[in-house]
Structure 1
Amino acid sequence: MIGLRALRVAGTTAPWTALGFSVRPEPLVPGLDIGTTSLDLEPAAAGIIGWTLVGEGPAQLDGLRTTWIDDPGPLRATLHPNGATRLDHVVVMTPSLQRTTGALGDAGLELRRTRDAGTPDRPLQQGFYRLGEVILEVVGDVPPEGPARFWGLVAVVPDVDALAGQLGPRLVGTPKDAVQPGRRILTVRREAGLPVPFAFLTPDPRRG
């Protein structure tokens, strides 16, 4: 199975530390490790720059910058004060879901299911993939025209209500029931300074 090993993300460590993440000590590459995924930070860039997948394939997946590596073994376990145990999913936006899922399929990623979303005025569809312990969610058809693009991240924590009290209203919103049955979600505010949309989600009761 193709797995997600790393994401290259813009920014510095300070906003992540403020949100309760443990970052790597110097002189290691600036960033943090969540479960089996490494987030490597680059101060001079914007958003999510690219990803590293375990396997082999092309350097572009419908515009998503991709590095491929052989299985490097497990990351060192990291304990985060906010309780984060892993990334739940990575969100990609595309103006053509058919085109993007086709490119991912050609590279060997298996589309597990699709789901209708959005509203009658703005219909959307989501496609879901499994990349090791992380889910890839592809959302289309979303303007503007062009290649697919990385959008946001969601991490798993045991209790979003407790975490909201720990972090405070300046950094996060109000916990609420998630779309996924039996789960609750907590969205990080823009004022927190992360370079990408980010949320915390309670564990899937079917997976833990």
Structure 2
Amino acid sequence: MTVTVDAIDVADPPEAWAPAGFSVDSDGTEDPICRVGGVRIRLVGRGQGTGILGWSLRGLPSDGAVDDLDGIPTRRSERATTEPATHPNGVVAIDHVVLMSPDLDRTVTSMAAIGVAPRRERDGELGGRRIRQIFFRLGEVILEVVGSPESMSDGPSTLWGITYVTTDLDATARFFGDHTGPVKDAVQPGRRITTLRHRDPGMSVPTAVISATPRR
């Protein structure tokens, strides 16, 4: 089976996401839900910290428990894909989730253990330091693994940030107003991106919005 993302657990209250134009509702569970594309973002509040706490995945191997994927708390899911919500900010899907890895080889091995192979790699720079990005496909979501190509360290990987897709980036930037950075060309050819100042509304997850993939 293909491994896909069912839900992402975020240590934010719904009051932090609604001002940023994300619709929040309930799917019958105890936590408020933000449905983006086919992914549920569970807003579990600040009782467990900040940022992305973990996730649930469909299609995990049936043999053995997978409750820790390279240090990321992971639950097995058999839920059907959720129906997307309409968001005032214009977001329609998740483009990619960023995973920060202290040991790229270890992370790639962990992904291989659940049957997921890297699609491509690229080298870049962040804050004057070399980085390597390794990309995996988890259904409609791209997982972008970021780490050093030259060194490794102990400790868990972490889910760090989310980039969303909008069909009208300029309209989304206008919605965010002063809470977003300038719209600029993305690394992906033909696409543009802007970064939300996520702390302004009280969100703890680094957030960006990118234009849709151009039609060929």
How does the TM-score come out when normalised to structure 2? 0.88
2:102 and 2:155 in contact (8 A); partners too:
yes
Which deviates the most, 146-155 or 114-123? 114-123
Could you list the structure 1 runs, at least 4 aligned residues long, displaced by more than 6 angstroms after superposition: none
Q: How does 1:78-157 map to 2 (within 5 A)?
A: 78-118=85-125, 122-141=129-148, 145-157=154-166
Residues 11-44 of structure 1: per-residue CA shift (max 9 Å, x gap): 1112211111111059753121000100001111
Q: Do the aligned partners of residues 114 and 73 (structure 1) sit closer, same or farther apart at CA in structure 2, a change above 3 Å counting?
A: same
Query: Of 180, 188, 191, which residue of structure 2 is paired with 1:172?
Result: 180
2:102 and 2:157 in contact (8 A); partners too:
yes
Which deviates the most, 39-48 or 120-129? 120-129
Instruction: Name the aligned partner's letter for residue 153 of structure 1.
Output: I
Instruction: Name the aligned partner's letter for residue 100 of structure 2.
Output: M
Aligned to 1:2: 3
Aligned residue pairs, count: 205
Instruction: Name the aligned partner's letter for residue 48 of structure 1.
Output: I
Q: Do the aligned partners of residues 120 and 193 (structure 1) sit closer, same or farther apart at CA in structure 2, a change above 3 Å counting?
A: closer
Q: Do the aligned partners of residues 62 and 20 (structure 1) sit closer, same or farther apart at CA in structure 2, a change above 3 Å counting?
A: same
Report SS of the residue matched to 1:105.
Answer: helix
Instruction: Name the aligned partner's letter for residue 94 of structure 1.
Output: S
Instruction: Name the aligned partner's letter for residue 96 of structure 1.
Output: D
Q: Distance in 2 between matches of 1:6 and 1:26?
A: 12
How does the TM-score come out when normalised to structure 1? 0.91
Deviation at 1:206, TM superposition (A): 4.9
Report SS of the residue matched to 1:76.
Answer: coil
Deviation at 1:145, TM superposition (A): 4.1
2:27 and 2:33 in contact (8 A); partners too:
no
Q: Distance in 2 between matches of 1:121 and 1:20?
A: 33
Identity %: 41
Aligned to 1:77: 84
> Is it true that 1:68 corresponds to 2:105 in the alignment?
no
> Is it true that 1:47 corresponds to 2:48 in the alignment?
no
Q: Do the aligned partners of residues 23 and 119 (structure 1) sit closer, same or farther apart at CA in structure 2, a change above 3 Å counting?
A: closer
Instruction: Name the aligned partner's letter for residue 39 of structure 2.
Output: T
Instruction: Name the aligned partner's letter for residue 34 of structure 2.
Output: L
Deviation at 1:118, TM superposition (A): 1.2
Structure 1 unaligned runs (5+)?
Answer: none
Report SS of the residue matched to 1:163.
Answer: helix
2:90 and 2:171 in contact (8 A); partners too:
no
Q: Distance in 1 between matches of 2:126 and 2:52?
A: 27
Q: Do the aligned partners of residues 40 and 162 (structure 1) sit closer, same or farther apart at CA in structure 2, a change above 3 Å counting?
A: same
